[in-house]
Structure 1
Amino acid sequence: MQKLAGTFLLLMIPVLSIAQTVNRGQITGTVTDSVTKKVIDVTIISLIKTGAVSPFTWIGVNADGSFKFAGVPEGQYRLVANTMGYRTKIIDSLVVTAAAPVCAIGNIPLAPVGKVLKEVMIAGKAQVLNNKMDQLVYNATADITSQNGVATDVLKKVPMIAVDVDGNVSLQGNENVRFLINGKPASILGSGISDVLQTIPASQIKRIEVMTSPGAKYDASGTAGVINIVLKDDKAKGVNGSIHLSAGTRLENGSINLAARKGRIGMSAFFSGNTQLKSKVVNTADRLSFNTGKDTLTQFIQHRISPFSKNSYQSGINLEWEVTPRNTLTATAGFSHMVTYATGRVEQDQRTYLSTGQTLSDIVSERNAATNFGENARNWSLTYLKTFRKKGRELSLNYVSSNTDNKNYDAQITTYQKSKFPASGIRSNNPGRDRETDISIDYVEPVSKDFKIETGLKAIIENIDNSVVTDTLLNDGVFVNNPGQTYRFHFKRNIYAGYASVSFSLFNKLLDGKAGVRYEHTETRSDLPEADIPVDDILAPGLLLQHKLDETQSFRFAYTYRIQRPAYEDLNPFLGIIDPHNLTAGNPALKNETGQKIEIGYNKTFDNNSSLYIGGLYNINHNDIQHYTSFFPVYVVNGTNYYDVSLSKTANIGRQTTFGINISGAAIITDKLSLRSDILLLEKNNIVPGFPDVGGWSYKANLNITYQFEKDLIAEAFGTINSKRADFQSIRPGYYNYTIAVKKQLFDKKGSLGLTAINPFSRYVNQYSSAYGTGFTQTNLRQTTMRSFGVTFNYKFGRPKGSTEKKKDTGLLAD
């Protein structure tokens, strides 16, 4: 760790050497919609010296639509305001002098258009990354290698984020991420988060917001932080829409979006479908178990071939009604459906022998298994937003609810070579219903230009009903009910929260910051056996500070306290017995995992729009939740014996510390060539009482290359690599992935045609992993099909009512 700290300091020396003194000049303003008069909080403002081609600097507007360039040298400038769905605004002849250092533009109205413009345009280049004080924003619409993929393919491109081959997402090496979709909990879409992310077409995503140190407004759950996926919408008047179609050898998806707006009423709807074609996963596991004296050993080899496929579709409708200029109602409703099919044939060889090599027994068997999962989820929401005459004052009320029905079917039958033993097997049906309702109220009060207060209350009501019916195969070939594995349970968790936070600017803009605290009271009830889950109260503080050296570079410091509550499947003590040699179970005695994190970072933007971010982090989790595996020669459950069993349970293992460095940036090499890269280095340690400390180094790196061949033809190549990682009891596998894509714009840029190739030179991704514990060691080779080829077509149609051809804006009053 000392070596890592020294390395980080060496990396920061050249950064510190370019720090400059702050100039006095300022240029300020606010961006609004010329029709609705509402602020536009995703606008990019470029400041260009008169006579120059590239911007002097650029910034994103604040949540209230305002922006401020500080430290502007004397001179004459041109300002460009640009965002998707609005006409570009250009303001010339802005002058900063010693006598008049402050140039207050005031309101800048942007007119909505039918054509979707470039979301971020600075000297003709789309800006993919935007580092703000409290979040990193990734512009997904500028990403072409993910064009025929899903949300997880986009997330692979985002700095600090890693996605494994199963779609599990980690942020700064931590998988406890709180996901939001359009600011609402992703859990309202049902299913596990990795399944949800793999049903959202990449073409639907507008941007991804990453908050590694979320403010008090956000739920305290998720020790890694918050990722908000913002889907595309259209605010332009008239009727507009888009169609996306993608076909491939491994993945197919499509979507259609429609939007209509007239006067104060707007409506939008979408439908999307996704199919993961049948592909094979090959897994070979080799487990060696032994007694205390290691004179009797058992080698158990499983070779599994598992075809897998998935189908899903989603639909939704959004209605926005501006009742008055200061009162807006927004209602949404959605439905999603998902089905997965998995079968498998497992060849098994269990050989017991003495340390001398003498074989005591050799049992060869074959297990055939099937798993089908289906889910239907309904969700709806209602939001009321009230603004006031005082700029920045806001009151919002939110109601979000979801209802999910799911059903899981598992079956397996094991037959033995030469009929040494009778066939054995089980089958189970597991229907369930999940319901969640979130109700919140938030209020923002701008006390002064440099001081703002935010406060709010929230209630989260979760209800889960589940039942399992398990049948066991008897020697006569008949399935009968197994009462020891047949049960029904109810799980309910209510979370009541309140928060208060302040945003401030001190010492004549020398230091900007946010500070807040969130209180959460949790009540959990369950009829799970042995479950006595106490009421818990947590207080989660947070602090974020930023010092701008000038408008092109800044330092930030952040501290956050967050928790990870056990999911109900982590608490459920009933056994998962689909593989009789590898059982799983939850732990009703689990406690909350708590995490504290400190981050520091430096951000620099260069004149040609290149950027650099260097950051460091230290994180410590207490009561860290991980899976713990124990080996049993014989494991007895309700009178049933299971032999040579690895039992995996969730447990609070102790502490986990993480020290890391992140370096990311974008380089504009020429007008046609640009690069983006992200490197994340982590040193993790698992400190478990009674065991030696386990940990080590891991890394994640990616590189993206974009080349513009001509005006309407662009190519992109992306590659990422994740190293293996040591956990308390296992070594997780590493993997690599690479993608090549081209896109040709058609029909006056209303449409496009793209080709994509993923891992074209490797059919499988090979993943090697290992695990160990008292009385056993195990190695695994997992081969997952990743190679695929695809073609994508996009088309945008419609035109806003009363729109005109694009004209060059000539000044502040241009419309």
Structure 2
Amino acid sequence: MSLKFTYGKITFLLICFFTSSLAIANNQQLKSESSEIKGKVFEGKFNKPLEFATVSIYSLKDSVLVKGTITNKKGEFSIKRLNPNDYFLKVEHLGFLSYYSKEFTLSDSEKKVLPTSINLKLDTKSISEVTVEANREFSRVELGKTVYNVSKSPVADGGTINEVLNTIPKVSVNADGEIQFRRSSNVKILIDGKMTGLLGVDPSEVLNSMPASDVDRVEVISTTSARYDATGAGGIINIIMKKNRAKGFSGNVGASVGTNDKKSGNLSANLRTGSVNFFGSYNYKDDWAGRDYNVDRTIYTNNSHLLENADVDFGNRYHIGKLGMDFLIDQNNTFTVSASYRDILQNWNGTYDYTRRNLLSSAMPTMDFRTSAVDMALESWIYKASYIHKFAKKGETLSVDFAYTDNASDNEGKYFEYQDNWNNLTDAYGDFYKLDRKESVAQVDYVLPVGKKGKFETGYMYRNNEIDYEDQFDLSTAFNYEENIHGLYAMYSGGAGKFGYELGLRAEYSDIKTNLNYEDDYFDLFPSVHLSYQISDKKQFQLAYSRMIYRPNSKMLNPFQNLRDPENQKRGTQDISAYYNHNVEMSMSFDRKKASYKTTLYVNYFKDLINQYRFIEEGTNRSIVKYGNYDSKFFSSLEFEASTKLNKWWSLSGYVAGIYEEFKPSSEFNFDSRDMWEVEGKITSIMNFKKWFKFQASFRYQSEILVPQGKYQNLYYVDLGMSRRVLKGKGSISFTANDIFNTFRFKIHTADPTFYNKVIQYRETQVAKLSFRYYLGKRYGIMRAKPKKSGMRHYENDI
């Protein structure tokens, strides 16, 4: 264990000590808080009790918020543990005018009961505004991000989070199943603004197991602010989950069946009892999918030619469970703990046939055949703990988060080779390697409101990442990697008139060590600037800049690869270094009554970019794909995005982008600079026939796109989705059909002066799925944060 990780342990112990001290201080304070006030809130016109009304108590002296609560089904509320003082009440409910009580005094240990109920009056103006907001289109623009309201999508009823992400403009899934934003896989995925939710795992695999019905909205952040970890050169996708604040038991259970023996199930539940909320979930998946491909390769140096057909089935079976608890210590302090377990088994079963010939020879081609069976078994535990403290000043908060994950996987392959025909077995062998990965994160964030519109934020993060690879047959090839990162940030945001701003600076120190005499440590500064100008109520201009870093991940470093197809291998590179990029984004957004538009100019410059490259291994004619640091990449796009509501039941959203990009390799590579103009777009139509069902159709097109040694051919596909509420709204049935015309084909051409290689990948994308979901107990009582022109982060950590 390195000295740096010892520092991390000390840091975490200090955080725990600080957290405990705060809790003890609060408990000492509770001893003198013995007063209480009770009352009832009714709807004025029909004199019916109002549930979920927000009741807040303020100090009369300085109007500082002291505590708050919400009413129950009977409209009753109770605020306990109050100091003797002079107060006033504020009562709020969506669609009603706010109520302010007269001043009153609580003496020591007084149990005050309001003699009459509080009656709220209907706010007709507010109702009309809420109606407009509820029917707003697919997206809205805030400072530094675009928010997509995906919860109403038919795909959200029965699909996975991966599937609903694929409906968002500029977000897609590549040939390897990775989530991409603006075609970059180097994107950070967050859940509720935190990286701890997907710590140490492949986000695309985990999100493909989580039901989209639990997602409220998705925030897409192109130019990252300093509050976030600087890793994630392509941007951030922040998934905001629904919050269940209703007391009692609630949850949902779902199941899906799909074509070609695909099945999955999931269960989630909440039990809220006063100050404690217990939650848990379980996800199961068992499916097979085709991963077939063809290869056409010519090697100019020896005039050899290869035709290959690969018939590959990929099996993916897993069990994922999670248990946790929220504890509301009091109105100002919340503590959360959870533990997750994953048991994953993946199988790659394939048959391969190779036809080889010499272009200058008249001899008959030779035939080789091969079967492979590769198994990967993964077990992992993820532990998380968080603490939130609200100060007396409204909006002032302190949060502490810690997460630790331990992943261990065994990878085993068995191979059989045949010459000329399937009856002539020539060789049989296998391979086996182990991968262990441990990662921990500790983070402290503090927010302080300043004046009427200002906000100061600061925080510290420590992250440790250890990866160990070990070949059981050759221990001399073992590879160990350890990465320690310390980050500190400060931000200030505010506004003056129509002008809004957010300025930040993040400092990070990185220390990397391996057992192969490769070490690196560096200190970096990452500034971020977000500016906005409200030209009118319907028109806004934004300008943003950020500097980011991307460090090599385990897939890029892994020196061991199963030899399921020796002619097409991927290998990690252990001496690649991190790269940096600069993001600049300028946008103009327009908001109309039934439509919204956004035009964006985006520029991204990468220095020392990590990217794949292909070469022919000398003496074997085998194609090897590795990772290396290029000189630079320039990416720019002009984008137009729009959403409109054609009528009460039909809405459209979509975007189109014109792109220019250029790759410049370093001198060590055997190919030249390349550039290309490209076009891509997506359009989604949602029809809501209220008495029948919701229907969604999505179309995506992508022209030829550039890769350093060649290009991807153009592609297009159409996805459909339908959903219907049943059982008086307690259940839903949904049907999805992806790639209905079976046109989603990845065709990539790569070359250098020594070879030409063409690969066509036939991933099984034409999939139909039927899903059912049943809601248990109370449905979600979602409290949405109001959109803020200043673009501040939503805080949804309270239970």
Shorter-chain TM-score tier: 0.7 to 0.9
The match for 2:73 is none
The match for 1:682 is 659
The match for 2:774 is 795
1:334-389 deviation digits (Å, cap 9, x = unpaired): 122222112111010111232xxx33573311011112112122112111111111
The match for 2:494 is 504
The match for 1:329 is 335
CA–CA distance in structure 2, aligned partners of residues 183 and 410 of structure 1: 39
Secondary structure in 2 aligned to 1:154? helix
The match for 1:26 is none
Q: CA deviation at 1:214?
A: 1.6
Counterpart selection for 1:692 from 668, 672, 687? 672
Is 2:548 aligned against 1:562? Answer: yes
* Counterparts of residues 32-111 of structure 1 (less than 5 Å): 34=54, 88-91=94-97
- On the 8 A contact 1:371/1:409 being kept in 2, the answer is yes
CA–CA distance in structure 2, aligned partners of residues 152 and 236 of structure 1: 28
Is 2:630 aligned against 1:653? Answer: yes
Structure 2 gap segments, 5+ residues each? 1-51, 58-64, 68-90, 100-117, 121-128, 782-799
Counterpart selection for 2:291 from 281, 287, 294? 281
Secondary structure in 1 aligned to 2:441? strand
Counterpart selection for 2:508 from 520, 523, 531? 520
Is 2:196 aligned against 1:196? Answer: no
* Counterparts of residues 80-479 of structure 1 (less than 5 Å): 88-91=94-97, 122=132, 125=135, 127-185=137-195, 188=198, 190-250=200-260, 251-276=262-287, 278-291=288-301, 296-354=302-360, 358-359=361-362, 362-417=365-420, 423-470=426-473
- On the 8 A contact 2:196/2:441 being kept in 1, the answer is no
Length-normalised TM-score, structure 1: 0.77
Q: CA deviation at 1:699?
A: 2.9
Letter in 2 for 1:602: M
The match for 1:813 is none
The match for 1:662 is 639
- On the 8 A contact 2:412/2:430 being kept in 1, the answer is yes
Secondary structure in 2 aligned to 1:122? helix
Letter in 2 for 1:553: K
Counterpart selection for 2:605 from 620, 627, 630? 620
The match for 2:708 is 728
Counterpart selection for 1:601 from 564, 584, 587? 587
The match for 1:103 is none
Letter in 2 for 1:773: D
Residue identity (%)? 21
The match for 2:690 is 710
- On the 8 A contact 1:744/1:752 being kept in 2, the answer is yes
The match for 2:483 is 493
Letter in 2 for 1:771: T
The match for 2:754 is 775
The match for 1:48 is none
Which stretch of the first structure deviates more once superposed, 653-662 or 686-695?
A: 686-695
Counterpart selection for 1:742 from 700, 722, 747? 722
Q: CA deviation at 1:742?
A: 2.3
CA–CA distance in structure 2, aligned partners of residues 324 and 579 of structure 1: 59
1:516-545 deviation digits (Å, cap 9, x = unpaired): 111111111111x3x412111111111000
The match for 1:9 is none
- On the 8 A contact 1:353/1:361 being kept in 2, the answer is no
Letter in 1 for 2:494: F
- On the 8 A contact 2:374/2:564 being kept in 1, the answer is no
Q: 1:413 to 1:553 in 2, by over 3 A?
A: same
1:56-114 deviation digits (Å, cap 9, x = unpaired): xxxxxxxxxxxxxxxxxxxxxxxxx9xxxx97434499xxxxxxxxxxxxxx999xxxx
Q: CA deviation at 1:603?
A: 1.4
The match for 2:649 is 672
Q: 1:418 to 1:711 in 2, by over 3 A?
A: closer
Q: 1:191 to 1:510 in 2, by over 3 A?
A: closer
Letter in 2 for 1:395: L
Q: 1:696 to 1:91 in 2, by over 3 A?
A: farther
- On the 8 A contact 2:175/2:746 being kept in 1, the answer is no
Q: 1:313 to 1:39 in 2, by over 3 A?
A: farther
Q: 1:578 to 1:426 in 2, by over 3 A?
A: farther
Counterpart selection for 1:592 from 578, 581, 594? 578
- On the 8 A contact 1:239/1:800 being kept in 2, the answer is no
CA–CA distance in structure 1, aligned partners of residues 292 and 333 of structure 2: 57
Q: 1:127 to 1:329 in 2, by over 3 A?
A: farther
Letter in 2 for 1:788: V
Q: CA deviation at 1:733?
A: 4.3
Q: 1:574 to 1:274 in 2, by over 3 A?
A: closer
Length-normalised TM-score, structure 2: 0.79
Letter in 1 for 2:673: D
Q: CA deviation at 1:576?
A: 5.6
Secondary structure in 2 aligned to 1:196? helix
Aligned residues: 672
Q: CA deviation at 1:495?
A: 0.5
CA–CA distance in structure 2, aligned partners of residues 167 and 281 of structure 1: 11
- On the 8 A contact 1:627/1:651 being kept in 2, the answer is yes
CA–CA distance in structure 2, aligned partners of residues 189 and 269 of structure 1: 18
Q: 1:579 to 1:440 in 2, by over 3 A?
A: same
Q: CA deviation at 1:722?
A: 2.6
CA–CA distance in structure 1, aligned partners of residues 133 and 227 of structure 2: 36
1:217-257 deviation digits (Å, cap 9, x = unpaired): 10000111111223333111121122222222154322222
